[in-house]
Amino acid sequence: MEVTLKDLTKIFPGKGKHAADVVAVDHVDLQIPDGCLLGLLGPSGCGKSTVLNLLSGLLAPTEGKIFFGDQDVTDLPPEKRGVGLVFQSYALYPHLTVLQNILFPLQNLRGKDKLTKEEMLQKATEAAKLVQIDTLLDRKPSELSGGQQQRVAIARALVKMPKLLLLDEPLSNLDARLRLQTREELRRIQNETGITTIFVTHDQEEAMSISDLIVVMKDGKIHQIGKPQDIYDDPQDLFVAKFLGTPPIDLFDGYTKDGKLWIGEEAVMDVDGDYDGHLTVGIRPEGFVPSQTGAFTCGLQRLEVMGRDVSVVCQHPFFIGDTFRAIIDSDDIPKVTGSTIRFDLKPSKVYLFREDDEQRILFD
Amino acid sequence: MEKKSPKAWLYLLPAILFLGAFLVYPLIDVLIYSFEEGYNSASQTHFGIGSYNYSYVLRDPYFLQAVKNTFILVIITVPVSTLLALLISMALSSIRRLRELYQTIFFLPYVTNTLAVGLVFMIAFQPTAYTDGLVNGLLSVFGIAPIDFISGPYWAKMFVLCFYTVWVVLPFKILILTSALASVDQTYYNAAKVDGTPAWRIFTKITLPLISPTLFYLVITGFIGAFKAYSDAVALFGTDLNAAGMNTIVGYVYDMLYGTSGGYPSFASAAAIILFVIVLTITCINLLVSRKHVHYH
């Protein structure tokens, strides 16, 4: 099912007498294609969970509309929207077994949707099989590991075959290894069911790895929408560039003059654009190519060899921050002598941003 | 298990001494008295040993009346007060405005002096030279003849006693239940809402099980408290409860020791042991029932 947000706004009244109102979601327009796995990405407090709650109907928007397909659901209560919601804390009922938890939404069905006991059991078992917890049905949630509880929560959200599945920080309560495993699992389950799925995360790696589409949000506004790789390769502004990528993008103070990009005293690259003046230069860590004759000279601090690739930890007077990292292939570890290292830059990994509004400046 | 260490016993010593002297020793002593016929506390003598004390007490019409009164009191006030407290605390949790004010009002009786409460009930129920009492005044509006709640028919007196007991125990239960309800994680309700759970089902399948440990605690302490009722009856009907026909088991024990017809520690002990057995039995039944319906997590 296609989901459309039109001019969606949510304002929370400020708490206390003189507190200002909080604009959690600020005039958001978004169209989510049918069957898409969408990652809603942003730092905490950016309004992504509010968007999720607006979609589920637990919150009512201050302004704007929500459409499921062609249907306007803005004023529908949660139970009429047919969404499945997985909470960050899973919210499994602690006094019910896994099976009873999964059955719970089915037992709520009334009227023409009412199911017989056998039908319910069958659907619940199917959902449990899908998330591979069908051997744990008689356990209580407290007897399960975090990852298993997570699966039960997903099974409970899926058992009614919702038109839209919402997941709030689904992996944040899992340890690092389980997180990797579970996110693959999430991708598999979404592929198998084909249900339009939206998940909220502050972890860009998580969003990058499994999403069909990523929406990057900050301060209630959408900064960029796109496929993970496109957003990484083509960030529209400084915030998006900074937020995506590990290690993060390296930022320098620089300026353009006469078709050259200058960082400090060095003209590091040719740029072909009509912008002359100061700007912020963002270089992806993989955009540095060590070279004896490189145009960009940096102070070398140390090398960190991590198997496949090498981090070169460097310093530069115009770097914004302390030290920065360049990632290079372990095959071409440079022969370093002295305390400086020279790089050539890959033009496709260099981004220029205006200093005032942090928007990207395009160049050839 | 850790190895037994003398240090552990040292730490336990104060509690053991205290409980031993003031709880275990008297309990055993009472058990012994209850089998010693005609025990005299002044001369520390008795005639013989046997079950005569029990057979006397169990045949004493005053004791049987006290047992009946106590059981009626327990059976009526425990469920009524718990249900009422649950209803009121549910209502309190669902309102936003002035919640603190209402909570304070409902908790006031708990911090009010018993004598003041007794006075309120006297004004409400006791006839004086000038009026038949507030409640009778109300009843007369509906054309009902005045009822003597303090020295009238048995059911009227029992009604007042139950009413009084419920009123006195309610604030504490409301306080405990309100905090239990507040401690239920809101996300459970959100999850239920998204799944379209009807309000009644949310209450029976989520709220009740999640507060069941608290509820169970209130029921058990409620039972024990009601079985030990005595002062409430005295406050309402005076010290000669046997004459008023409103005695309780604890009241009977007290009368046997110190009352106008008192001076029978053996009979008092037997009655006390019978009460102990009753409370123990009921508590065990409660515990058994709770295993199935109370969810600790």
Under the banding of pLDDT at 50, 70 and 90, the label for residue B274 is very high
Q: Residues with Cβ < 8 Å from A341, sequence gap 6 or more? A: A290, A297, A298, A300, A312, A314, A334
Q: Determine the average pLDDT of the residues in A206-212.
A: 88
Q: Determine the average pLDDT of the residues in B15-28.
A: 93
Under the banding of pLDDT at 50, 70 and 90, the label for residue B1 is low
Q: What pLDDT score was predicted for residue A213?
A: 92
Are B131 and B137 spatial neighbours (Cβ–Cβ below 8 Å)? yes
Residue ranges covered by each domain of chain A: 3-243, 250-361
User: To the nearest whole percent, how much of chain A has pLDDT over 70?
Assistant: 99
Residue numbers in B near A110 (CB within 8 A): 198
| Among the partner residues A78, A104, A142, nearest to B193 by beta-carbon distance | A78
Under the banding of pLDDT at 50, 70 and 90, the label for residue B2 is low
Q: Determine the average pLDDT of the residues in A121-140.
A: 88
Q: Determine the average pLDDT of the residues in A221-243.
A: 91
Choose the mutation target among A50, A56, A95 for the interface with B, i.e. most B CBs under 10 Å: A95
Under the banding of pLDDT at 50, 70 and 90, the label for residue A364 is low
Half-sphere exposure of A242 (CA within 13 A, CB side): 16
Are B150 and B127 spatial neighbours (Cβ–Cβ below 8 Å)? yes
Q: What pLDDT score was predicted for residue A310?
A: 86
Under the banding of pLDDT at 50, 70 and 90, the label for residue B51 is confident
How high is the mean pLDDT of chain A? Answer: 87
Instruction: Check whether B152 has a pLDDT greater than 90.
Output: no
Q: How wide is the angle at C-alpha B110 spanned by C-alphas B258 and B211, nearest 5°?
A: 110
Are A195 and A162 spatial neighbours (Cβ–Cβ below 8 Å)? yes
Q: How far B295 CA lies from chain A's nearest CA (Å)?
A: 6
Burial class (CB in 10 A: 0-12, 13-18, 19+), A171: buried
Q: What pLDDT score was predicted for residue B210?
A: 92
Taking the C-alpha atoms of residue A39 and residue A83, their distance in angstroms, rounded to an integer, is 17
Across B186-220, b (16+ Cβ under 10 Å) vs e yields: ebbbbbbbbbbbeeeebeebbbebbbbebbbebbb
Instruction: Check whether A105 has a pLDDT greater than 60.
Output: yes
Q: What residues of chain B have any CB closer than 8 angstroms to a CB in chain A?
A: 185, 187-188, 190-198, 201, 205-206, 209-210, 212, 295, 297
Under the banding of pLDDT at 50, 70 and 90, the label for residue B3 is low
Residue numbers in B near A52 (CB within 8 A): none
Q: What pLDDT score was predicted for residue B122?
A: 76
| pTM, entire model | 0.80
At position B103, the amino acid (one-letter code) is Q
At position A116, the amino acid (one-letter code) is T
Choose the mutation target among A108, A156, A163 for the interface with B, i.e. most B CBs under 10 Å: A108
Q: Which residues pair with A166 in a beta bridge?
A: A85, A198
CB contact under 8 A, B190 and A91: yes
CB contact under 8 A, A78 and B196: yes
Q: What pLDDT score was predicted for residue B73?
A: 94
Are A336 and A261 spatial neighbours (Cβ–Cβ below 8 Å)? no
Under the banding of pLDDT at 50, 70 and 90, the label for residue A130 is confident
Residue numbers in A near B183 (CB within 8 A): none
CATH fold for the domain made of A3-243: Rossmann fold (3.40.50)
Q: Determine the average pLDDT of the residues in A296-319.
A: 86
Instruction: Give the ipTM.
Output: 0.81
Superfamily of domain B54-102+156-293: MetI-like (1.10.3720.10)
Under the banding of pLDDT at 50, 70 and 90, the label for residue B121 is confident
Q: What pLDDT score was predicted for residue B71?
A: 94
